[in-house]
Amino acid sequence: MTAPSSIPTIPHTRPADWPDRPQGRFASTIATDLSAAPRCKAALLGLPDDLGVRLNNGRPGAAQGPAAIRAALARFGVDTPAGGIRFAPILDAGDIIPASTLTETHQRVTKAALAIHQLGLVPIALGGGHDLTFPFVRAAHQARNVRAGLYTDAHLDVRETEGSGMPFRALFETCNLRSLSIVGIRWFVNTDEHFRYFTSKGGSVIRRPATSMAQAAAHLPSEPCFVSIDLDAIDASQAPGVSALNPNGLTVENVASYAHAAGASPHCACFDIMELCPPHDEQGRTARVAAYILFRFLAGLAERPTTTTPNSP
């Protein structure tokens, strides 16, 4: 009789496809074997699905986002300690295998993210449509009692209809959020009805985006929370490859400040980067932006106190 394996598994996933990862490049430092989990602080989880975007009449292509972010990561080098930057060690938990329906895909995302939490790691999702933030954060709610969050987005994303415009209504209704802030909201693309719903649930709009990590840290919740980055919050001149273009958005550094602060915060239980749309990305510019934002989160995570975990309510 064969003894059961002690190597952990992440359900509903397949190994991620990486380009070449030569020594000296950041990607070469990312573990791909789950047995490496004890020496890591976080795990990547690709969410290659854009059914929600298509249901929302957005530009399709976000399903290719995780692969494009990994390809961009593979081009970056590693700063030495002499350069003043350290990165938290991470592993790649692979990609979710999408189902034929949005509901089933969401269930798979929650189960996979829960497995990462159970390994004691901070899950980092690479999307993918923004609807996937709902099941991803639902796992953090179940594992860490997360009931607060901050997101960068041009849109409130509190629609009632199924699709990429619904994640935060679903989180309000399913996970009983008590604190949620949005940065980068754009005028003329949100309805009065959605504003009323958002504020009635305790949502708040940050009118002046952070220009430094210290300012961003002051905007984060002081309880177990999530931080979600929708790349369409960034101005189209810097991030053209998204599901919905933004002609008057945030700067990359605005968003990176929130990513760095989230990594450093002992309260941030999960982090995601959503809505990269490679078919519309000029020369891979937005994929590089997404990779940079991820680097900033990992730099912050390396600064996070090791004695504190984001699992206490």
Please state which of the ranges 71-80, 248-257, 275-284 shows the lowest mean pLDDT.
71-80
CA–CA distance, 229 with 128 (Å, rounded to integer): 12
Q: What is the pLDDT of residue 313?
A: 44
Radius of gyration of the chain (CA): 18
Q: What is the mean pLDDT of residues 75-92?
A: 77
pLDDT in tens, 97-133: 999 999 999 999 999 999 999 999 999 999 999 999 9
Cα 178 to its chain centre, rounded Å, is 20
pLDDT in tens, 236-246: 999 999 998 99
CA-CA-CA-CA torsion for 42, 48, 53, 58, nearest 10 degrees? 100
Q: What is the mean pLDDT of residues 29-53?
A: 96
- For the chain, domain boundaries: 42-303
CA–CA distance, 55 with 132 (Å, rounded to integer): 13
CA–CA distance, 255 with 210 (Å, rounded to integer): 8
Q: What is the pLDDT of residue 311?
A: 46
CA nearest to 26, candidates 79, 65, 62: 79
pLDDT band at 139 (very low <50, low <70, confident <90, very high): very high
In the predicted model, what is the mean pLDDT of the chain?
A: 92
Task: Return the CATH class of domain 42-303.
Answer: alpha beta
| CB-based contact 244:154 (threshold 8 Å) | yes
Instruction: Please give the helix or strand (H or E) that residue 47 lies within, else none.
Output: strand 42-47
Q: What is the mean pLDDT of residues 82-100?
A: 88
pLDDT band at 197 (very low <50, low <70, confident <90, very high): very high
Max CA distance (Å), the chain: 65
pLDDT at 96 over 50: yes
Q: What is the pLDDT of residue 280?
A: 96
Q: How far is CA 200 from CA 160, 177, 194, in A?
A: 15, 12, 10
Amino acid present at 264: A
pTM of the prediction? 0.94
pLDDT in tens, 257-289: 999 999 999 999 999 999 999 999 999 999 999
CA–CA distance, 60 with 49 (Å, rounded to integer): 10
